[in-house]
Amino acid sequence: EAGVAQSPRYKIIEKRQSVAFWCNPISGHATLYWYQQILGQGPKLLIQFQNNGVVDDSQLPKDRFSAERLKGVDSTLKIQPAKLEDSAVYLCASSLELTSGNEQFFGPGTRLTVL
């Protein structure tokens, strides 16, 4: 079974530029998550989708971050404009369904450096 795919793996941009990340979850997984992992910290949930609907985006900085999962499969996360403090690893995860206790499967992440 193929895992969660993410691209690009690395991205370097200057502040105020825009950037987009792509995620393809495990086939058949209805729930998709985007996490931000700042160096030295645990992952923090940014947004959670169930199929193509948003379940939780309470910690997403909506003035600069946006995400979509239009067809309920793959997803994109965008930052516009980027700030220095956005430097982090962005992890995508998926699970079979929304129920607590379900294992989340993580992709390798995209490491973003904002200069």
**Using rule CB under 8 A, residue 40 touches another protein:** yes
Only one of the segments 15-23, 43-51, 62-70, 72-80 lies at the binding site for another protein (rule: CB under 8 A); that segment is 43-51
Closest CA to 80 of 42, 38, 112: 112
Q: How far, in Å, CA of 70 to CA of 58, rounded?
A: 19
The first and second tokens of residue 81, run together, are 């404009």
Among 55, 62, 80, 115, binds another protein (CB under 8 A): 55
Whose tokens are 């995860």? That residue is: 93
Only one of the segments 21-29, 68-76, 77-85, 87-95 lies at the binding site for another protein (rule: CB under 8 A); that segment is 87-95
Query: CB under 8 Å to 101, separation ≥6 — which residues?
Result: none
The first and second tokens of residue 19, run together, are 């950037």
Among 22, 45, 76, 78, binds another protein (CB under 8 A): 45
Only one of the segments 21-29, 60-68, 77-85, 88-96 lies at the binding site for another protein (rule: CB under 8 A); that segment is 88-96
Among 21, 48, 65, 69, binds another protein (CB under 8 A): 48
